[in-house]
Structure 1
Amino acid sequence: MTGLEVIFRDGELWLGMMPGSLKALDLRRDPRFAVHANPGADDSMDGGDVKLAGRAVEVTDEAEVARFGEAIGHPEAFCLFRAAVGEVVRTSVEGDRLVIRSWRPGGPLVTRDRD
């Protein structure tokens, strides 16, 4: 597993990683991605889990990558991908129910629950 940095900037989701990393090579070969996180504080499960999935589009213009790096205070070389989010899913436990909320671009928020 290789790490990547997830950045929300200018209303978009960006993925950054080290040049030549396995993750960058994987995304160049197959642009599908999924990022899974637990936004709960203090290692709790409060807030549930969130998954973002979609396709990553590499930013190859060196000047654009440099401007982005300067804006976020990242002076070293890195690979940058713009994320085209295709799905957002939040799974949480609310009382004694498992609640799954999902959204796709152009669609409504869909909520399903299970006892």
Structure 2
Amino acid sequence: MASNWAAFAAAEPDLAKTVEQRFGAFRHHVLATLRKDGSPRTTGLEVRFLNGELWLGMMQGSLKALDLRRDPRFALQANPGPDTGTGDGDVRIGGRAIEVTDPEVKGAYVKEVEPPQQFHLFRTELTEVVRTYVEDDTYLVAEVWKPGEPVRTLKRT
């Protein structure tokens, strides 16, 4: 089961807001895809939250785009910034990236963002959202959301 950003945000608005803030704090993030041989590839990426979707845009013919065309599974890590142990913590999103080729949808995206003239655009279907942070300088806390389930909170010392 997968979910788009709007469905996740409706189900878990507080966590969604925190995740958007973490991604909004920096321009570049880390995308993990699978190469043809199945090994992981990590690359930098800009993301956008627009019209209830989490969008992944990338240069035409980029290796990460070709990876996603072949195998749509991805993991997306928000840029941790200079100090990952405090503040809103660390966030990551797992899911599937679905390429968008509809000219109207791409045109609407272009009105909001200034991508290269030719680019790949993927909308995402989420399979997991995770926030990890330190609480009271004592506990490592992980909030884990999966479609159709409430957020699970795990704590350990």
Confirm whether residue 101 of structure 1 aligns to residue 150 of structure 2. Answer: no
Q: State how far apart, in whole Å, the 2-side matches of 1:102 and 1:53 are.
A: 11
In structure 1, runs of 5+ residues without a counterpart are: none
Q: Which residue of structure 2 aligns with residue 27 of structure 1?
A: 68
Q: State how far apart, in whole Å, the 1-side matches of 2:89 and 2:109 are.
A: 31
Is this contact kept in 1: 2:139–2:156, CA < 8 A?
yes
Find the partner of 1:7 among 37, 48, 51: 48
Q: State how far apart, in whole Å, the 2-side matches of 1:84 and 1:71 are.
A: 21
Find the partner of 2:83 among 39, 44, 66: 44
| 1:39-95 alpha-carbon deviations (Å, 9 max, x no partner) | 66xx22222110100000000123421331122233622110000011001111112
Q: Which residue of structure 1 aligns with residue 156 of structure 2?
A: 114
The Cα shift of 1:38 comes to: 4.4
| 11-20 or 75-84: bigger deviation | 75-84
Is this contact kept in 2: 1:3–1:23, CA < 8 A?
no
Alignment-mate amino acid for residue 112 of structure 2: A
Q: State how far apart, in whole Å, the 1-side matches of 2:145 and 2:59 are.
A: 30
Q: State how far apart, in whole Å, the 2-side matches of 1:55 and 1:48 are.
A: 24
In structure 2, runs of 5+ residues without a counterpart are: 1-41
Question: Percent of aligned positions with the same letter in both sequences?
Answer: 56
Higher helix share: 2
Q: Which residue of structure 1 aligns with residue 5 of structure 2?
A: none
Q: State how far apart, in whole Å, the 2-side matches of 1:66 and 1:3 are.
A: 24
Q: State how far apart, in whole Å, the 2-side matches of 1:44 and 1:92 are.
A: 11
Is this contact kept in 1: 2:57–2:115, CA < 8 A?
no
Is this contact kept in 2: 1:2–1:21, CA < 8 A?
no
Q: State how far apart, in whole Å, the 2-side matches of 1:85 and 1:50 are.
A: 13
How does the TM-score come out when normalised to structure 1? 0.88
Higher strand share: 1
